[in-house]
DNA sequence: ATTAATGCAAAATCTTTGCACTTTC
DNA sequence: GAAAGTGCAAAGATTTTGCATTAAT
């Protein structure tokens, strides 16, 4: 339903974060944002990039993912200590984690989960709330 | 309020998991279960052990934590990709994560959060639900 | 031309493993 | 004494970093 994020917007956002729209960044951005709700690891994105004939080093993929995250284009999701996932959906939502395949899947915001937030400890404020629902084959 | 977990029970549980109650395991168990609701990393537990004059290698601490987790004495909590936390409370509950200090804190079960679970994807069943509420100094 | 980004390999972390030695049963 | 556990160091895995080269403004 949603339109894919237009290039212009990506370039804007990169510029806003002080990042030049280089060939590699634009190529990675294209792969990331042409679809919707992608959940990628650095390795997956690197492989995809190579497959598409775009030569990028793994280090650059890591750097780029971190820069995109800092710029607000991506959100980092921690599910297991093994690897970092980056989610192209940056609005509030939660995840199913398929423990057998290692895949992440969005939980639609409509499947309301959070009813009342807990009171944060004295002297602290809530930064974010993360819900991971682990699922396995029935 | 709760009584600390008696040694007998630990030994039983270890035996049940086919683990011999060795000096190192008992020492680590003592440190872990004498208090309540501890959240330790391997490194913290290792340091604590050394401080208490119990010589244990870091590798053994890792192995022991994993074995205890497999035996159901501990629960592993994933908050950031940097390190693994092990929680001595194995009943269902969720956590505050102090992003500045790296500390984990239990959210009392009474601060009800989950009202209705989302429907798991076709062909899958829910294994566990994990809520991490990140907090930082106000 | 200036300034920043890239790539590679090396470093840094955290965690696991292999193997000789020690402890438990 | 047989079987399992421990310790150390080395290996693994993921992510970051340093520096020379390349590309962007």
Contacts of A106 in chain B (CB under 8 A): none
For the stretch A7-66, pLDDT in tens is 777 788 888 888 899 999 999 999 998 888 899 999 999 999 999 988 899 999 999 999
- Together in a domain, A52 and A70: yes
Q: List residues of A whose CB lies inside 8 A of any B CB.
A: 78-81, 83-84, 94, 96, 98-99, 105, 107-108, 111-121, 123-138
What's the total number of domains in chain B? 2
- Together in a domain, A82 and A103: no
Percentage of residues in chain B having pLDDT higher than 90: 56
Domain that holds residue A49: 7-86
- Together in a domain, A95 and A82: no
Cross-strand bridge partners of residue B87: B39, B75
For the stretch A99-115, pLDDT in tens is 988 999 998 766 666 66
Does residue A82 lie within any of the structural domains?
Answer: yes
- Together in a domain, A72 and A101: no
CB of B52 closer than 8 Å to CB of B31: yes
Contacts of A92 in chain B (CB under 8 A): none
- Together in a domain, B77 and B115: no
Residue in A97, A134, A137 to test binding to B, most B beta-carbons within 10 Å:
A134
Identify the domain boundary among B70, B86, B102.
B86
Write down the pLDDT at residue B5.
61
Q: Three-state SS for A84? A: strand
- Together in a domain, A57 and A104: no
Write down the pLDDT at residue B115.
60
- Together in a domain, A30 and A56: yes
B55-70 CB burial, b ≥16 within 10 A, e <16: ebeeebbeebbebbbe
Q: What is the CATH number of the domain that holds A16?
A: 1.10.10.10
A80-111 CB burial, b ≥16 within 10 A, e <16: beeebbbbbbeeebbbbbbbeeeebbebeeee
Write down the pLDDT at residue A95.
93
- Lookup: tokens for B104: 């984990």
Among chain A residues, the shortest Cα distance to B99 is held by: A127
Query: Following CA atoms A43, A47, A48, A49 in sequence, which dihedral angle do they give, to the nearest 10 degrees?
Result: 100
- Together in a domain, B60 and B26: yes
Q: Three-state SS for A119? A: coil
Higher pLDDT, B15 or A7: B15
In Å, the largest CA–CA distance within chain A is 53
């Amino acid at each position: 339903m949603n339109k894919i994020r237009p290039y212009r917007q990506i370039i804007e956002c990169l510029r806003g974060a002080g990042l030049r729209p280089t060939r590699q960044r634009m190529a990675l951005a294209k792969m990331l944002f042409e679809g919707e709700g992608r959940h990628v690891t650095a390795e997956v994105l690197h492989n995809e990039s190579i497959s598409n004939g775009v030569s990028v080093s793994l280090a650059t993929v890591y750097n780029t993912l971190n820069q995109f995250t800092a710029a607000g284009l991506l959100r980092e999701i921690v599910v297991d200590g093994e690897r970092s996932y980056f989610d192209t959906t940056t609005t509030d939502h939660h995840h199913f984690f398929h423990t057998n395949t290692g895949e992440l899947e969005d939980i639609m915001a409509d499947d309301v989960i959070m009813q009342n937030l807990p009171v944060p400890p004295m002297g602290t404020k809530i930064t974010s709330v993360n819900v991971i629902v682990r699922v396995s084959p029935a």
